[in-house]
Amino acid sequence: MPSASFTASRSCVRRSRRKGANRIPTPSRTTSAEPCEPSCPIPNQNIPAPLAPASGSSSAMAPSTSSSTVPAHHSPYDLRRKSPSHHEGGPSTSAATAGSPTSPATPTAPAQVCYASTMLPARKRPRRTFSTSYENCTATAAHYLQYELPDEVLLTIFNYLLELDLCRVSQVCKRFQAIANDTEIWKRLYQSVYEYDLPLFNSAPCRFEFVSPEESDLANPWKESFRQLYRGIHVRPGYQDLTFKGRNLCYFNSVQGALDYADERSAATSGTNYSGTCTNTHSSEPTNQGALIFLHAGTYRGEVLVIDSDISLIGAAPGNVAESVILERESESTLMFVQGAKQAYAGHLTLKFSPDVTSTVPHHKYYCLEVFENCSPTIDHCIIRSTSVVGAAVCVSGVGANPVIRHCGISDCENVGLYVTDYAQGTYEDNEISRNALAGIWVKNYANPIMRRNHIHHGRDVGIFTFDNGLGYFEANDIHNNRIAGFEVKAGANPTVAHCEIHHGQTGGIYVHENGLGQFIDNKIHSNNFAGVWITSNSNPTIRRNEIYNGHQGGVYIFGEGRGLIEHNNIYGNALAGIQIRTNSDPIVRHNKIHHGQHGGIYVHEKGQGLIEENEVYANTLAGVWITTGSTPVLRRNRIHSGKQVGVYFYDNGHGKLEDNDIFNHLYSGVQIRTGSNPVIRGNKIWGGQNGGVLVYNGGLGLLEQNEIFDNAMAGVWIKTDSNPTLKRNKIFDGRDGGICIFNGGKGILEENDIFRNAQAGVLISTQSHPILKRNRIFDGLAAGVEITNNATATLEFNQIFNNRFGGLCLASGVQPIVRGNKIFNNQDAVEKAVANGQCLYKISSYTSFPMHDFYRCQTCNTTDRNAICVNCIKTCHAGHDVEFIRHDRFFCDCGAGTLTNQCQLQGEPTQDTDTLYDSAAPMESHTLMVN
**Residue 10 pLDDT level (bands cut at 50, 70, 90):** very low
What spatial distance separates the first Cα and last Cα of the chain, rounded to whole Å? 86
Assess whether pLDDT exceeds 90 at residue 426: yes
Per DSSP, the residues of 73-135 read ---TT---PPPPPPBTTBS-S-SS----SS-TT---PPP----TTTTS-GGGSPP----HHHH
Residue % of the chain over a pLDDT of 90: 65
Confidence class for position 277, pLDDT limits 50, 70, 90:
low
Distance CA 684, CA 688 (A): 13
Quote the mean pLDDT of the chain. Answer: 83
CA distance 708 to 711: 10
pLDDT value of residue 705: 98
For the residues 495-522, what does the mean pLDDT come to? 97
| pLDDT the model gives residue 218 | 92
Lowest-confidence segment of 259-268, 694-703, 767-776 by average pLDDT: 259-268
In the prediction, which pLDDT does 272 show? 44
Asked if pLDDT for residue 333 goes beyond 60, the answer is yes
Predicted local confidence at residue 583, as pLDDT: 97
Return the percentage of the chain with pLDDT > 70, whole number. Answer: 79
- CA distance linking residue 363 with residue 734, whole number of Å: 79
Q: What residue type is 771 in one-letter code?
A: P
DSSP 355: -
Which residue, 681, 761, 750, is CA-closest to 714?
761
Lowest mean pLDDT among 57-71, 180-194, 705-719, 834-848: 57-71
For residue 290, the model assigns a pLDDT of: 85
Question: Nearest-5° angle of CA 836, CA 840, CA 842?
Answer: 125
| pLDDT, position 254 | 93
Looking at the predicted structure, is the pLDDT value of residue 26 above 80? no
Q: Which run of H or of E encompasses 441?
A: strand 441-444
| Mean pLDDT, rounded, for 354-374 | 77
CA distance 476 to 458: 18
Residues 6+ apart with CB under 8 A from 55: none
| CA pair distance 773, 787, nearest whole angstrom | 12
Closest CA to 371 of 362, 355, 382: 382
Contact 718, 739 (CB under 8 A): no
Q: Please, what is the Cα angle at 702 between 698 and 708, to 5 degrees?
A: 115
Question: What does the CA dihedral 575, 580, 583, 588 come to, rounded to 10 degrees?
Answer: 160
Nearest to 597 by CA among 576, 569, 616, 567: 576
Distance CA 495, CA 53 (A): 67
Number of H helices, E strands in the chain: 11, 76
Q: What is the pLDDT of residue 278?
A: 56
d(CA 23, CA 476): 72
- d(Cα 822, Cα 594) in Å, to the nearest integer? 47
User: What does the pLDDT read at residue 91?
Assistant: 33
Residues 438 and 66: their CA atoms lie apart, in Å, by 75
Q: Can you list the pairs that 331-334 forms with residues at least 24 positions away whose Cβ atoms lie under 8 Å?
A: 331/355, 331/356, 331/359, 331/361, 331/363, 331/366, 332/304, 332/363, 332/366, 333/366, 333/367, 333/368, 333/369, 333/370, 333/395, 334/305, 334/367, 334/368, 334/369
- pLDDT: is 697 or 37 the higher one? 697
Asked if pLDDT for residue 287 goes beyond 50, the answer is no
What is the number of other CB atoms lying within 10 angstroms of the CB of residue 21? 11
Is pLDDT of 916 > 60? no
Q: Are 438 and 461 in contact (CB under 8 A)?
A: yes
Instruction: Convert the pLDDT of each residue in 210-224 to its tens digit.
Output: 999 999 999 999 999
What residues have CB less than 8 Å from 654, skipping those under 6 apart? Answer: 604, 605, 626, 627, 628, 629, 630, 631, 677, 679
Residue type, 524: K
- List Cβ neighbours of 500 (8 Å cut-off, separation of 6 or more): 474, 475, 476, 477, 478, 479, 487, 523, 524
Q: How confident is the model at residue 359 (pLDDT cuts 50, 70, 90)?
A: low
Average pLDDT rounded to a whole number, residues 196-204: 94
In degrees, rounded to 5, the angle at the alpha carbon of residue 451 between the alpha carbons of residues 447 and 454 is 140
pLDDT given for residue 268 in this prediction: 56
Contact 620, 644 (CB under 8 A): yes
Range ranked top by mean pLDDT from 140-144, 163-167, 665-669: 665-669
Residue 479: count other Cβ atoms within 10 Å of its Cβ.
31
Residue 319 has pLDDT above 60, yes or no: yes
User: Higher pLDDT residue, 704 or 262?
Assistant: 704
Mind giving me the DSSP string for 674-719? ETT---EEES-EEE--BTBSEEEESS---EEES-EEE--SS-SEEE
**CA 412/CA 350 separation, integer angstroms:** 13
Pick from 60-74, 554-568, 771-785, 884-898: least confident: 60-74
pLDDT, mean of residues 703-713: 97
pLDDT-derived band of residue 862, with 50, 70 and 90 as boundaries? Answer: confident
CA–CA distances in Å: residue 661 to residues 75, 588, 693: 107, 16, 13
The helix/strand/coil state of 778 is strand
455 SS3 class: strand
Give strand pairing partners of 154: none
**pLDDT of 77 higher than 70:** no
508-530 burial by CB neighbour count: b if 16+ within 10 A, else e?
bbbbbbeebbbebbbbbbbbbeb
* Residue 78 Cα distances to 136, 143, 294, 828, angstroms: 14, 12, 43, 133
What's the CA gap between 883 and 886, in Å, rounded?
10
Q: Could you tell me whether strands 869-870 and 852-858 are parallel, antiparallel, or unpaired per DSSP bridges?
A: antiparallel
Judge whether 222 and 190 are in contact, CB under 8 Å. yes
Is a pLDDT exceeding 90 seen at residue 405? yes
The residue count of the chain comes to 932
Whether the pLDDT of residue 11 is over 90: the answer is no
Q: For 195-204, 396-405, 817-826, 861-870, which range has the lowest pLDDT when averaged over its residues?
A: 861-870
Q: Where are the alpha helices (DSSP H) in 312-378?
A: 321-324
Closest C-alpha among 578, 510, 586, 522 to residue 550: 578
Give the per-residue pLDDT at 766.
Answer: 94
The DSSP line for 593-610 is EEES-SS-SEEEESS---
pLDDT of 692 above 90: yes
Per-residue confidence at 622, pLDDT binned at 50, 70, 90? very high
3-class DSSP state of 153: helix
Q: Report the distance separating Cα 598 and Cα 318, nearest Å.
A: 54
Distance CA 883, CA 429 (A): 93
Closest CA to 570 of 605, 619, 621: 619
The pLDDT confidence band at residue 924, using thresholds 50, 70 and 90, is low
pLDDT of 486 reads: 97
Q: Which amino acid is at 618?
A: Y
- Answer yes or no: are the C-beta atoms of 920 and 738 closer than 8 Å: yes
In this predicted structure, the answer to whether residue 671 has a pLDDT above a threshold of 70 is yes
| Across 363-387, average pLDDT | 91
Q: What CA–CA distance (Å, rounded) separates 586 from 591?
A: 17
Torsions phi, psi of 137, nearest 5?
-65, -45
Q: Is 276 helix (H, G, I), strand (E, B) or coil?
A: strand
pLDDT-derived band at 900, boundaries 50, 70, 90: confident
Lowest mean pLDDT among 66-75, 480-489, 547-556: 66-75
Q: How far is residue 113's CA from residue 66's CA, in Å, rounded to a whole number?
A: 11
